Amino acid sequence: MKRIGAVSVRAIGEAMVEMAPVGDLYRRGFAGDTFNTAWHMARWLGPRAGVGMVTRVGADTVSDAFVAEMAADGMVVSGVARDARRGMGLYLIELDGVERRFHYWRDTSAARGLAEDPATLAAALRGVGLVHLSGITLAILPEAGREALFSVLERFRAEGGVVSFDPNIRMRLWGSAGEMQAVVTRMLGLTDIALPSLEDERAHFGDADAAAVVARMAAAGVAEVVVKDGAGPVTLCADGAMRQVATPPVAGIRDTTGAGDAFNAGYLAGRVLGLEAGACVGAGQRLAGVVLQHPGARAPREAVAALGAVG
């Protein structure tokens, strides 16, 4: 496994305003796949690592509240750029019994411009050991933004940085299946740690099983692949060896939202601390289990604290 040199992490992507139902009203919060991962890492690692977000938000009071919440939760906010013309994207959760539907308003999200200034983006990653991004990060960027991001990531890796990528495929954000497949495959060539879900890869790349996912990603140049499969075993390929790690049962599941993001957080937290790969998987499973037991994409702060040490 590629060593993470600096104990510093940045997630690149979009954080959104979340409107979650509470009775007949809605509670405002903030969420987003890479933000969820970074937030859980920051809460679980605490002062052992500097964890932040590289994104762009508005210059309004809602964006101010988001940045203030990040800082209060111990996250590094220096990578959050401001946009005077655009604000944060928004999504609303609609409940139908225990099922959740999501409605999105993100076409004018400031995060779509997070790579408009490549020099600023590169500066935000200077001195960082690990960068994490997702297929959603790539999908919301215009083509020029993707090219700028790819160039920055190439330099980041050339200087010793480690890149983690969760394909997290959401077809409604892509122009076509062909575009998505081409961009994701190109991103795999810049990836050190891949964190795909079997469901996504089977549906959108036709992989028969986790071993097929590992083989395709290894052929694209990824040395470390961790395939999530819900309650099924995690398939881990690291240092040329593949194995499966059983997923412990979780009692009292209330909401599956954000469980994959939390697994990513636990796995990457273990990697930052230099744990063995199997222990990193265990950390991811523990953190995902806590998220499953609570509503929403992020576990309560006290529930993360109750986990104790990473690994």
**Separation between Cα atoms, residue 47 and residue 50, nearest integer Å:** 7
Domain-embedded: residue 311? no
CA 12 distance to own-chain centroid: 8
Confidence label for 97 from pLDDT (cuts 50, 70 and 90): low
The pTM of the full predicted model, rounded to 2 decimals, is: 0.96
Average pLDDT over residues 162-176: 97
**In terms of residue numbers, what domain contains 74?**
8-301
Predicted confidence (pLDDT) at residue 10 exceeds the cutoff of 90: yes
Confidence at residue 5, expressed as pLDDT on a 0 to 100 scale: 82
Nearest to 238 by CA among 263, 256, 214, 262: 214
Which pLDDT does position 99 carry in this prediction?
A: 65
Q: pLDDT tens digits, residue range 54-65?
A: 999 999 999 999
- Whether residue 310 is contained in a domain is answered as no
Q: What angle do CA 268, 216, 134 make, to 5 degrees?
A: 40
Q: Using 50, 70 and 90 to split pLDDT, how confident is the model at 6?
A: confident
**Domain count for the chain:** 1
On the question of pLDDT at 201 being above 70, the answer is: yes
Mean pLDDT throughout 172-199? 98
Query: Which residues have C-beta within 8 Å of that of residue 134, sequence separation ≥ 6?
Result: 13, 33, 34, 165, 166, 167, 168
Residue 126 in any domain: the answer is: yes
3-state secondary structure 140-183: HCCHHHHHHHHHHHHHHHHCCCEEEEECCCCHHHCCCHHHHHHH
* Chain centre distance of CA 247: 20
Per residue in 252-261, pLDDT tens? 988 888 999 9
**pLDDT band for position 148 (50/70/90)?**
very high
User: Mean pLDDT score of the chain, rounded to an integer?
Assistant: 95
Q: Is residue 306 part of a domain?
A: no
Neighbour-count burial of 102, counting CB atoms closer than 10 A to its CB (0-12 exposed, 13-18 middle, 19+ buried): exposed
Q: Read off the pLDDT of each residue in 118-146 and give the average, rounded to a whole number.
A: 97
Distance, in Å, from the CA atom of 170 to the CA atom of 157, rounded to the nearest integer, reads: 26
Give the residue from 261, 256, 217, 260 showing the smallest Cα distance to 237: 217
Q: Does residue 261 lie within any of the structural domains?
A: yes
Q: Does position 310 have pLDDT exceeding 60, yes or no?
A: yes
Domain CATH for 190: 3.40.1190.20
What is the pLDDT, as a whole number, of residue 79?
97
Quote the CA–CA distance of 94 and 92 in Å, as a whole number. 7
Residue 76's pLDDT is 97
Annotated catalytic sites, by residue? 261
- Percentage with pLDDT > 70 across the chain: 99
- Whether 100 is in a domain gets the answer yes
Q: What tens digit of pLDDT does each residue of 225-252 get?
A: 999 999 999 999 999 899 999 999 999 9
Query: Is it the case that residue 96 has pLDDT exceeding 80?
Result: no
Is residue 307 a part of any domain in this protein?
no
Please give the pLDDT value at position 98.
52
